[in-house]
């Protein structure tokens, strides 16, 4: 079998099949990426179609973050507290690493809501300064998100910066009561004329959701690749058996 498989014609065919398998593998991976993108888009569309609810109704302070709150559009009102503001580094936006500007919103009920007011490319950006924080009453809408996961390794950051947005950490800095989650600001009504940070686009809830039709397409491409290899092996085995039968016939003729 090995001698048959190593014949030039079968090696050439194997090389062609390997190239096809690589192509099929890439097409399958591409379809899987499309499945994730389509799933995320559908989740975002569904979240956008749901009615806007107040953050107090969906996520009261000091309560665990419910799964159905992830990605929901919420409204809130109150006043920002410039003394309760932190920067979160290593946040990508349009491929550029920068800082999130996270400010506490004091609601009429007295609770603190962490609000990601936007993104800045530098910690010294004027838009991240305390003077840029709106001081009047604001009414805002945004996308609710659960606390960030803890970093793999704790990092030493300058004063006023945190590695992640985590209510368990913020409550030690800001006090409470605090909402266990944060809002990515979409819009707000304010009379402040200072230029604000760049809005952060929200990742949709149900990040693991996929479009199963595209998943099926991905599996089909991978199956095609496996089938091509199996077909090559069967052809080699058949050729080996044919050559073996011919050799036995020749031996019989020679004996006669």
Query: Which range of residues forms the domain containing residue 19?
Result: 2-37+210-255
In a domain, 200, yes or no: no
User: What's the pTM value of the predicted model, to 2 decimals?
Assistant: 0.62
Q: Across residues 65-86, what is the average pLDDT?
A: 90
**Do 185 and 96 fall into the same domain?**
yes
**Do 115 and 12 fall into the same domain?**
no
Closest listed residue to residue 80, CA positions, set 240, 221, 197: 197
What pLDDT, on a 0 to 100 scale, did the predictor assign at position 205? 46
Q: At what angle do helices 212-255 and 8-49 cross, to 10 degrees?
A: 170
Q: What is the CATH number of the domain that holds 87?
A: 2.40.50
**Do 115 and 165 fall into the same domain?**
yes
What are the residues whose beta carbons fall under 8 Å from the beta carbon of 235, sequence distance 6 or more?
Answer: 10, 13
**Do 91 and 147 fall into the same domain?**
yes
**Do 31 and 111 fall into the same domain?**
no
Q: Is the pLDDT of residue 244 over 80?
A: no
Band of residue 216 on the pLDDT scale cut at 50, 70, 90? confident
**Do 169 and 232 fall into the same domain?**
no
**Do 154 and 104 fall into the same domain?**
yes
Q: Please state, in angstroms and rounded to a whole number, the distance separating the CA atoms of residues 218 and 224.
A: 10
In a domain, 51, yes or no: no
Residue 60 phi, psi dihedral angles, 5° rounding: -60, 155
**Do 109 and 183 fall into the same domain?**
yes
pLDDT digits (tens, 9 = 90+) for 12-41: 888 898 999 999 899 888 888 888 777 766
What is the residue-averaged pLDDT of the chain? Answer: 84
Give the three-class secondary structure for 81.
strand
Q: Please state, in angstroms and rounded to a whole number, the distance separating the CA atoms of residues 187 and 117.
A: 9
In a domain, 66, yes or no: no
Number of domains in the chain: 2
**Do 167 and 219 fall into the same domain?**
no
E strand segments, 94-217: 96-106, 112-120, 138-145, 182-189
In a domain, 53, yes or no: no
In a domain, 55, yes or no: no
* Dihedral angle over CA of 99, 159, 113, 145, nearest 10: 40
Cβ atoms of 240 and 1 closer than 8 Å:
yes
In a domain, 148, yes or no: yes
What pLDDT, on a 0 to 100 scale, did the predictor assign at position 204? 47
Q: Across residues 54-63, what is the average pLDDT?
A: 90
**Do 24 and 103 fall into the same domain?**
no
In a domain, 184, yes or no: yes
In a domain, 194, yes or no: no
**Do 185 and 94 fall into the same domain?**
yes
């Amino acid at each position: 079998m090995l001698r048959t498989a190593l014949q030039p014609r079968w090696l050439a065919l194997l090389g062609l099949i390997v190239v096809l398998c690589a192509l099929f593998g890439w097409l399958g991976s591409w379809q899987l990426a499309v499945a994730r993108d389509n799933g995320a888009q559908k989740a975002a569309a569904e979240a956008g179609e749901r009615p806007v609810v107040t953050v107090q109704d969906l996520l009261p302070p000091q309560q665990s973050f419910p799964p159905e709150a992830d990605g929901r559009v919420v409204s809130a009102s109150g006043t920002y507290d410039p003394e309760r503001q932190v920067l979160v580094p290593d946040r990508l936006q349009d491929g550029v690493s920068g800082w999130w500007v996270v400010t506490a919103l004091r609601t009429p009920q007295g609770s603190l809501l962490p609000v990601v007011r936007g993104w800045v490319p530098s910690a010294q950006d004027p838009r991240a300064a305390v003077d840029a924080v709106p001081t009047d009453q604001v009414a805002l809408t945004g996308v609710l998100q659960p606390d960030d996961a803890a970093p793999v390794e704790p990092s030493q950051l300058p004063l006023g910066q945190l590695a992640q947005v985590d209510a368990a950490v913020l409550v030690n800095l800001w006090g409470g009561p605090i909402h266990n989650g944060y809002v990515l600001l979409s819009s707000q009504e304010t009379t402040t004329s200072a230029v604000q940070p760049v809005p952060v686009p929200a990742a949709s809830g149900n990040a693991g959701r996929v479009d199963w039709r595209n998943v099926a397409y991905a599996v089909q491409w991978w199956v095609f690749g496996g089938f091509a290899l199996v077909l090559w092996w069967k052809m080699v085995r058949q050729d080996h058996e044919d050559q073996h039968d011919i050799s036995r016939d020749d031996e019989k003729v020679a004996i006669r």
